[in-house]
Every structure is written in structure tokens, then in C-alpha cells.
Chains A and B, each alone.
Chain A
Amino acid sequence: MDINEKLKILSSAAKYDVSCSSSGSDRGNSKTGLGNTVTSGVCHSWTGDGRCISLLKILFSNACIYDCAYCINRASNNIKRATFTVDEVVNLTINFYKRNYIEGLFLSSAIIKNPDYTMEQMLKAVKKLRIEENYNGYIHLKAIPGADLKLIREAGFYADRLSVNIELPSEKSLNLLAPQKKKETIIKPMSFIGQNALANIEERKKYKKVPLFVPAGHSTQLIVGATPESDLKILKLVEGMYKKFNMKRVYYSAFIKVNNDKRLPDIKPPLKRENRLYQADWLLRFYKFSADEILDNKHPFLDENIDPKTSWALRNFHYFPIEVNKASYETLIRVPGIGIKSALTIIKARKYAPITFDKLKKMGVVLKRAKYFITCNGKYYSNLFLTPEIIKEELTKNKEYQIPLFPLTAIEKAV
């Protein structure tokens, strides 16, 4: 099979993996090497669906011996199969990188022969890139569930990021849809990587020469909508992973039905839900919210019509309005329409002169949302006596407010 054909098969097989971010790693280059990584991440192109292309995202192989219900590459599907050689992966990566097509490599694989064999092939490719080709660009490697932890550990010294997909939000669902994958074969490497990464940070504080272990941390991916778990259950799980496994990012992937299988629901990809989950995830990581604040047993699903922060604010209307000229940073970032950047600007700017509504607008605060929750020098933006119900109606009837389906990168930029 020629390389063009292989690339076509093995990149389209990988594209449903949504983890497109290349940020979070600062690998400086040596004098003679090739490449560096940039902390803020770089997009090199945008696909027809508006997603950022940053990495060459490919599978090593799609000839899988497993049979997960939701996966296009499962053994029982009748599809074209292909497997790269180690040299082909290296060659493609180097030559795309030199032309500035990509920021680096994202290598995953179906399970060929057995988990150890698969992991070994991937390890060979990254070792060759780093050692023989002197390549310093970004590498994100998927750890194969069930592979020897020794192999995973070794891979961690060559990759910027290592990740294990959690796939589904509960053990029950995993048993149902991916019976050959066991919960421990996922959780074990996940906590192993987390521990090793933390230990590495400590060691490097003492000895500068200790080699880097997954400097960009580890992440995971979760399919949304294939199984019945609520958003509350998902967010609790995610919150736990951030805390326990020292995880950098969780990626949510709206379930796209590619196989006909009785175990799978008949739904359109829940893109809105995916988008809301990303917003809720931001609240967890940067806005100091807990999962229990974002949702509760009475409201176990995120509202599709309104973003999670506004939902929270409307349910907790007794905290508002707050006075922007006095409120602390922690209070400001909880106001719908005020992001981290504008909260910091408000705090800096109000030292010189009181903040007015006009100024807020210039700072990039989304007044359309914020105006219901704040006062400026004791003044309300409008004289209406408002209740949460009326505000919700106002906000949702306004077409502009209905956020279009952002891809990941758009959300990252917006906040």
C-alpha cells in the first residue's frame, strides 16, 4: 500500500479523537536540533469543520483485535486496514514539521497483536524521532491500556504528553460497550503517569539533570452521550481525576454513531452538550467552582439554552448584584460575562478611577449578560425589577446570546 493511501486511512481513523491541543509544554531547542514547543500552542490550519490543526494526528494502525461497540476500527467491522512502519511515521513527522505544517505528532493506535507489541512500536517511533532525528517538537502519545507499565514509563521520557482514554463515564458502561477493556487497565496507568509526573517535578527541583517526564502532563478523553450517565456524574468523575491523578485536561467527545449496534443509542451527536461540558470544565479548572455547585441532584444535566455560569448565578440570585468597584477577584470571576482577563483589568483599573458601565464595555466585559448581576457605583444598568425567571427569558430570547457550536479552540480563546 502506498504511503498516501495509508495516511488517508490512518488519519481519518484518528480524527474523532478530539484532543487537538498542543500547548502546555515548553521544550526549548538545542543548537543543532529541530524544533521547539510553544507554551500557548499554535494552530497551523483549520479544517472544514472549523477545528484547529496543530498536530499530525494519526493511528499507528487501525487493525484492531478488540471490538468496542462505538469504534469504527473494531475487529468485526469490514473496513480497509493499514499499519504504518516506524520509519514512515518518523519521515512524515519530520517532513511536515520542517515545512511548518504542524506543531508535532499525536500518535495513537488500535491494538495489534497485543497491547505490549503495540506500545513497543509506538515507543520505537518516538525514540527514533528524539534520538536519531534530534527532533524537539511536540509529541502526544496515547498509552495503550493493558501495556506493561515499564513501557509506559519509558515512553513518558520521550513524549510531552501521555494520555490514557477513560472512554466512558462508568465501569458498567465500559463493560457493556468495551468488554475487552477493564477499568483497572485504564485507571492503573492513569494514576501511574500522574504519580510519576509529580515525582519528576520534585526530582527536577533537586537535580536539574533529571530528564523530563511528560512535561505537558497527561490528559484523557471521554465519550458523551453513548451511555446514560448524567452531566453531574461526569463532572464529579472529572473533578476527581483532576484532583487525584494530577490530570491536565479532560476532553469531551460528542458520541457519533458510526456502527450499527443494538447497544448504542440512536441520537445525533450531542454537540451542544459537549460544548456546555467544556464550559463547565473551565469553571472547574479556572473559576474555582466545584461540580456540586455547577449541578445538583435536582438539576443533574447542564441547561442547553444557557451557559453553566449563568445557570449557577440564576439559581443563586441572592448573591447578586455585586458592586464591581468593591468586589474581590473571586467574586468578580463568578459574574456571568466577566472573564478572568477582564476581572484582572477591573481590579487594576479601579485603583485609578471608578469603573463605569462604559468602561466595562471597553474592557471586553459582555454587558449583555453581566448587566443583570452587577452595579457600578451603586447604580443598576437598567431600572427593571428583575427576577431570575425574567432574566433567563431575556437572555435566551436574544438570538445573539445563543452561543454557536464552538469547537474547543474557540472556547479556549473566548475566556
Chain B
Amino acid sequence: MKTLIAAVSAACLMLTAPLAIAADAPSDPEIAHIAYSAGVIDVEAAKLALSKTKNADVKAFAESMQKDHEAVNDMALALVKKLNVTPEDNATSQALAKAGEEKRAELGKLDGSAFDKAYVDNEVAYHKQVNGALETLLIPSAQNAELKSLLETGLKLFQGHQQHAEHVAAGLK
């Protein structure tokens, strides 16, 4: 049994327990579910940000997150349909969803610049975590070539998101 502990920045650990992704190499239906769940969490966070922020850079970032992650998830849905694969719920997806909900509840209590900073910092940490999981676990485990290729595109896109979030975070200081 291999356990991958995703590195989460210290700032992020204050209220949320670190997410442990326990993994015997996940199957393609599980990988699809994990990737899709990770996207949904970021879309939900973006919606929360759009309902709260007054900062133009944070708003533009959140809009981009919502659109991009919805688009990738649409690609994922189209692919699983084409491959006739049913995404399978699993412990990693559930841990992600739970951590996402907790973070959303925590962010929901903040307002103004405190919210902006916490949201953007979490976006940096979250994309780092998801990118780490893609690189070390999900992409190497994917069996289907088209699924692997979609995950690789996702990784490039999310690495871009991480840099975008880092730029926005630097601008907030």
C-alpha cells in the first residue's frame, strides 16, 4: 500500500487536516472520478469567490477557474461517454470532496481582503496539490491513452492556473 501525502502549505493547515490520498494505483474509472471531482471543487470555490469578491483581479481569476474547469470536466464527460466508462466513486474522491466542503465553509466566513487572500492562497495550494497528484499518481496510473492525454492537458492547464494564482496572490500583498 502506497500512501501519497499531498504537501499543503502551512498556512493552509490551520483549519484543515492535510489530505491523504491513499492509493493502490487507481483504475481508469476511479481516475476519471477523481479528476472530475477535483474540477467540481474548484468550480464551487470559484462560484463562492464570485459571490464575495470586489477585487477585479480575483474576480477575473475566479471567472477563469469556473470556465476552464467546467470545460475540462465537459471534455472528461465526453471522453468517458465515448469510452463507455462509468466513473467510479472512491476514497480519494470522497476525501477531496470533504476537504473542499470544509475549505468552502471556512472561506464563507471571511469577507473583503481577508477572503480574497485566503481564497487565492488556497487556490495556489489546491492547484499544487492536484498537480502533484496528476504527476505522481493519476497520469502514471492511467491505462487508456486518451484519458492519459486528457490528464496531461489538464496538468498543463492547472500548472498555468497555479502560476496565475501566484501572480494574483503577489498582487494582493
Are both chains from one complex? Answer: no
